[in-house]
């Protein structure tokens, strides 16, 4: 099996790289794919927490590249879904502990066993970013409807092109229909016009993300959440299905009422 390596990156911090990585990986596994999530944010690991697997870490990515353990020993199997694995970052080391060459070698080995390898890139454009993108076949850029995030995304697209990673796709995260309608938030079209790359999906702002992150349960599992549906759709698009981008919906009276009485 020769799978695909997908790097999830953004340039700017806090736009939802880790959340997106966790949910895309989970949603792919829900579709029966064999997936390994890799946390490339060495020294600031988070993906394990978001996945709720923190307490099962024994070895990490640095142990693997330094040959302290075998790759299989460091991979944590997620018990919720068959075929979902996590290779955690080291917390007590820094980005220089891994080189792009080692990363590429690791990914090349790993994707032999997997359908998809999802690499969660750190913020920034330095060594950690360079490690994360080396060996990737495909790139997903996460951005939010803010000028600073779009500017950084644009920079990242340029850097990816320079590394030979062409045609990245973008996920627009945390979008709010009401604010877009009022003209207080950049619309999807405005962002795509500047970035000029394909839109992989949009994820509406959802309070449920905070809850699911704190509980260590990716929101993709939650069948009721809008953001969960958004990530499941994104996963299907990654698998090659042609799904329309979800319509942005304003919170109507009914759903507000439902929330008030606790139905939704």
Binding residues for ATP: 12-19
Q: Which residues are annotated as a binding site?
A: 12-19
Q: Which stretch binds other proteins (CB under 8 A): 133-141, 193-201, 224-232, 237-245?
A: 193-201
By beta-carbon proximity to other proteins, the closer residue of 194 and 210 is 194
Cα dihedral sign, 19-20-24-25? negative
Pick 58 or 194: Cβ nearer other proteins:
194
* Phi, psi torsion values for 89, nearest 5 degrees: -85, 165
User: Is 151 among the residues that bind other proteins (CB under 8 A)?
Assistant: yes
**Residues 111-150: x/- map of binding to other proteins (CB under 8 A)?**
----------------------------------------
Q: Which residues on adjacent β-strands are paired with residue 53? A: none
Burial class (CB in 10 A: 0-12, 13-18, 19+), 223: exposed
For position 155 contacting other proteins by CB under 8 A, the verdict is: yes
Distance between start and end Cα atoms, the chain:
41
Q: Which of 13, 14, 32, 158 binds other proteins (CB under 8 A)?
A: 158
Q: Which stretch binds other proteins (CB under 8 A): 40-48, 156-164, 214-222, 247-255?
A: 156-164
Q: Where are the alpha helices (DSSP H) in the chain?
A: 17-30, 47-51, 61-65, 71-74, 100-113, 127-133, 147-162, 177-182, 188-195, 208-215, 226-238, 253-261
Q: Is 135 within 8 Å of 108 (Cβ atoms)?
A: yes
Q: Which of 159, 179, 192, 199 binds other proteins (CB under 8 A)?
A: 159
Length of the chain: 264
172-191 mask for other proteins (x: CB under 8 A)?
A: ------------------x-
**Tokens 């029966």 label which residue?**
32
Q: With respect to other proteins, which residue has the nearer C-beta, 70 or 155?
A: 155
How many residues touch other proteins under the rule CB under 8 A: the total is 12
194 makes contact with other proteins (CB under 8 A)? yes
CB within 8 Å of 42: residues ≥ 6 apart: 61, 62, 89, 90, 93, 94, 95, 97, 98, 122, 128
**Site of interaction with other proteins (CB under 8 A):** 151-152, 154-155, 157-159, 161, 190, 193-194, 196
């Amino acid at each position: 099996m020769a799978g695909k390596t997908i790097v999830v990156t953004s340039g700017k911090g806090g736009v939802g790289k880790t959340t997106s990585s966790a949910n895309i990986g989970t949603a792919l596994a829900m579709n029966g794919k064999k997936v390994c999530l890799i946390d490339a944010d060495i020294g600031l690991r988070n993906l394990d927490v978001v996945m709720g697997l923190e307490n099962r870490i024994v070895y990490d990515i640095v142990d693997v590249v330094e040959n302290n353990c075998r790759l299989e020993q460091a991979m944590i199997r997620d018990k919720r879904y068959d075929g979902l694995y996590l290779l955690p970052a080291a917390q007590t080391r820094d980005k220089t502990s891994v080189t792009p060459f080692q990363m590429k070698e690791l990914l090349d080995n790993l994707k032999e066993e997997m359908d998809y390898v999802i690499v969660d890139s750190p913020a920034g454009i330095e060594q950690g970013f360079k490690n994360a993108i080396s060996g990737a076949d495909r790139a997903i850029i996460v951005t939010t409807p803010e000028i600073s995030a779009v500017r950084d995304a644009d920079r990242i697209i340029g850097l990816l092109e320079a590394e030979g990673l062409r045609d990245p796709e973008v996920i627009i995260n945390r979008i709010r229909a009401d604010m877009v309608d009022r003209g207080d938030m950049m619309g999807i079209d405005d962002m795509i016009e500047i970035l000029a790359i394909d839109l992989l999906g949009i994820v509406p702002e959802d309070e449920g993300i905070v809850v699911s992150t704190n509980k260590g349960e990716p929101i993709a599992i939650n069948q009721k959440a809008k953001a969960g549906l958004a990530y499941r759709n994104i996963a299907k698009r990654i698998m090659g299905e042609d799904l329309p981008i979800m319509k942005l919906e304003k919170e109507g009276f009914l759903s507000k009422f439902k929330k008030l009485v606790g139905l939704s």
